[in-house]
Amino acid sequence: MSSGVVRAAGCVLWRRAPYDGEVEVCLVHRPRYDDWSFPKGKLKRGEEALAGALREVLEETGFHARPGARLPTLRYVTGGRPKQVLYWAAEAVSGSFAANSEVDRLLWLPPGAAAARLTHPRDRPLLPALLSSL
């Protein structure tokens, strides 16, 4: 019997900006929720968290990613159920974005601008954790 916790995983996807080499992070816009967040999603039955995180990044952003450090786990309640999201730092290594049914827009932003754009304040602590892991 499951604990009732919704298990999810995601990544703070990053790259070096092509024009100055500074770190940029990827935010995705989900029209269903009209929010800006990091790519993440529910794990499939039996799926390892890191594999699920990388799958979600590819599905939502079109980018293949090289995983790095574990980042803080976020825990919150959504739809009346507890949710736990495991996060990793992940460097975008190849790919390109195409709008899809889950994500209609993608932005690459410097960490400060990303912090300001994130819809949910609970996501913000992931940015300094990413930067300290690089």
81-116 pLDDT, tens digit per residue, is 999 999 999 999 999 999 999 999 999 999 999 999
Alpha-helical regions (H) of 46-95: 49-61
Placement of tokens 């790919």 in the chain: 95
Residue 111 and residue 20 in contact, taking contact as beta carbons nearer than 8 Å: no
Per-residue confidence (pLDDT) for residue 1, from 0 to 100: 40
Rounded to 5 degrees, φ, ψ at 48 are -70, 145
**pTM, 2 dp:** 0.95
The pLDDT tens digits for 33-89 are 999 999 999 999 999 999 999 999 999 999 999 999 999 999 999 989 999 999 999
Domain boundaries, the chain: 6-133
Task: Name the superfamily (CATH) of residues 6-133.
Answer: Nucleoside Triphosphate Pyrophosphohydrolase (3.90.79.10)
Q: How far is CA 70 from CA 10, 54, 57, 129, in A?
A: 10, 13, 15, 9
